[in-house]
Structures are given as C-alpha cells and as structure tokens.
Structure 1
C-alpha cells in the first residue's frame, strides 16, 4: 500500500486540516520541518515518506478564491520528479485544464483531483475519467452525508481507475480510518484502485487499511506529529 503525503494550502501557508472545518485551519506546526512555507513542507513530507507523489488541496480555490498558482509553480519547479495530485475545486475538466495552463512549466505532472463536492454535473463526472488524461475522483462525505451534486457515489460505471474515499470528519482528528466506507465503495467497483483519506493514527491503522483493500492512503497529521516514523512507511 502506498502512503501519499498531503499538503493543504491556504493564504500562502501549509495549514493543518481538521475535520474539513476550513475556516478554522491554522499554519501547520510539524516535527518534520520549521515553519509553514509550502515548498519546505512539501519537501519534508515527500522526503519522510520517500514519495514522488504529493496530494495538494488548494483551499483558497476550494472556497471560491484564487488558486495559489505561485506556490504550486515553486513546488513543481523545485521538485522535478514530483507527481502532484491537485484538488482545487474543479467543477469540470475544463476548469482543471485552465489551471494547468496558468501553472505553465511542470503542469504536465499535475493530476487533477475531481471532488464530488465540487463537480457540477453528471456530464462533468463522465468527462473526468475519460481518455488518457483521466484524473482522480474523490468521493466526499461528512458525518454520513454524501457531498455529491453530480451523483458520483452511485455511478461506478463512470469512475476513473483511481478513486479517493474521503471521510472529512476524520481528517486530522486521529479518529481511525473509515474502513467501512472503503469496503462499501469497493463492493461497488472491485477493480477500482481505492485511496483512503482521513483518520490514520499509526502503523496499526496502516496495516488495517492495507488488509481492507486500500491501494493507498492520504496522510498528513500523523506525519507532522511524528506518529509515522520514516522507517515505518507503508
């Protein structure tokens, strides 16, 4: 199982995500590096996990503001081997392509994450998983409620090959991974590579996630807090 480090970007800082309550996020304090400058945090996370893949949530864009193009450019320029999974509130494929054009050099390494909370329609859902440039779909829920205007949760025939199962109330909360929802999604599409998100506390949780069939898991807080030492990476 792959461990994919996560960086949440807000107003020029890497911030600590907690239960999806974005208005309360504060600059991250990490055992891995000093400060909350995005590039420094991205480098520290990827080095700790020996990962060439990073998930980035642009919270400014997700909440209706301007995408943090300058920070994304710096990360891509400084980390030439990086594959950047980017969630920036894309309503459809055209929005993702427009942001990649603004980023410029390095944008070919940006993999758009299409979140069910942001997709505008079933047509947009169908397009996000089509062709060679398919992105990643994130199935989002909070407190048992699906965030899903496009009907993504019930349309496995339209899913791309990689799907994130995002349980927002567990993000940063050290509440344990939501394996029941992971299994529920897996039953809908056994061949899909599922990526869990939220709740990982320690190595035992990673083992449980692996046993439940997760292809990968998105992790941030357990890394920053030193609860997943480098020698224990999945």
Structure 2
C-alpha cells in the first residue's frame, strides 16, 4: 500500500516524469456501451432500474451505432465493451444491436457480457471471431463453465462487486487458477460515479493474477487515473463517463497511446 500511495502522489503532483511514463506499456482504454431496450443507457453505480437512454455531446441519439461512431470521433477505438443488461437480467438479448456494430465500416472487436451461464451459449459465442464473451461472476451458479473453458484465449472473466460485496461463487476469488487470461475487476458501485478506481481491490486482484491481464472497470475519471492504473500493471480500463463528459479528450487519448 505504501508503494501505491507514493505512486499516486507522484502522479498527482507531477513528479513522475514523461520519460518514466513512456517507458511503460500503454494502458488500453476500452469504451463501454451499456445496452437496454436496444439503446445505449448511462450506468449509475450498478442501480440498473435507474439507467436511462444516454444523453451525450458525442451523439444526437442513444442509438448504439451513433454512440459508437461518436466515441470513435474522439479516438479510433478498435474494441468496445458491451453490457447487455436485458440479457444479464434474463430478458431478450440485444442481438440486433450487436449485429449493427458488427456491420460498421470498421467492425470493432466486441467484449460482451450477456449473462451467459450455460455451455451451449458460451461455445456458440466463442465460435464467433469478432466476439469475446465476458462471463460475469454474478451470472454464475458454480465454477463449471470456467473449469471447462478457462484455457480458451478468447474467454474473459468479470469479477463483479456490488455495494453488498462480491457476487458469484466464492471459488472465483479463492481459486485464481480458475481465471482465464483476461480478468475484469468490475466495481459497480463506482460505475458512473467519477469517484476514482478501486485501487485497493485492483492491487489485491493483480497480486493474485500472476501473468494474467487485469482490466479495471468503474470510476476512471481522468488522465491521472489512467497513469496510476498503468503504474500498478493494469492492462486496460473500461471507460464511459469520462469520455462522454469530455474529461478524457482526444489529446489525452492520443498521448496515452490507447
């Protein structure tokens, strides 16, 4: 923790020089598209009943392709993270919206959490070359799917933390050997809050992850947060609010090398 505090302090005060930053591997910024009823909605701390169609200067509507193109107006993002909230809650998946994203002129790589919890659906998703299925811990009853597919290079695990703590089988936290190559640390209480990433939890998960890629989700505010995450060895960050409100500008994104 002393290392984390001193590193964060250095970033905030500007005492970490540009040379030391550029020597590090750039952290990927992956824009988030939360889908509900076929539209992009603005997430608010995991309280899904409060999610409403997004209002953003990047797009004239909440249409998924319009918002994706607006985000690409900031930076040519090659990857988007999709939370299909209808599917996660047991409703009808937003397959039409995904198909429209796939049909874009430069189709993005899609990381999709659609509440997958069975082998047949997961196998079908893994067969799609443009789709990287995200298995949310909140959707799993046990660790059977991870024991079966954990070595697949396209599988992504999301460790989901709500206000009341971790949701999912306890073995996901106790047995990191179950984890695939990419692990998202999803702190939903911080999503849309602009309160900063959950550095303490991220540091703890990174210590367990070994050589796996750890992805931060929730609370990323600005360039200083991105650089601080990189200093911890975090591979990527899922970001929405700071892109839509202009805190992360095209200049920042170009400098960060995302």
Structure 1 position 118 matched with structure 2 position 139: yes
Q: Please list every run of 5 or more consecutive structure 2 residues that lacks an aligned counterpart in the other structure.
A: 1-26
Q: 1:101-139 CA deviation, whole Å, 9 max, x = no partner?
A: 8xxxxx42010001111123211122242235x410001
The residue number in structure 1 matching 2:3 is none
Gaps of 5+ in 1: 102-106
> In structure 2, what is the equivalent of residue 210 of structure 1?
230
| Number of residue pairs aligned between Structure 1 and Structure 2 | 228
2:56 matches 1:30: yes
Q: 1:167 aligns with which of 177, 182, 187?
A: 187
Match status 1:15 vs 2:41: yes
> Partners of 1:6 and 1:228 in 2: how far apart?
14
Q: Does 1:146 align with 2:166?
A: yes
| Deviation by residue 1:168-205 (Cα, 9 ceiling, x = unmatched) | 10000111011111110011122111000000111111
1:180 paired with 2:200, answer yes
User: Which residue does 1:129 correspond to in 2?
Assistant: 150
8 A contact 1:4–1:54 mirrored in 2:
yes
* Alignment match, 2:21: none
Runs of 4+ displaced beyond 4 Å: 98-101
TM-score with structure 1 length normalisation?
0.92
Q: Would the aligned equivalents of 2:82 and 2:113 in 1 still touch at CA under 8 Å?
A: yes
Q: Secondary structure at the match of 1:55?
A: strand
User: How does 1:30-179 map onto structure 2 within 5 Å?
Assistant: 30-98=56-124, 107-132=128-153, 134-143=154-163, 145-149=165-169, 151-179=171-199
Q: Is the 8 A contact 1:67 1:88 kept in 2?
A: yes
Highest CA radius of gyration, 1 or 2?
2
SS at match of 1:7: strand
Report SS of the residue matched to 1:43. Answer: helix
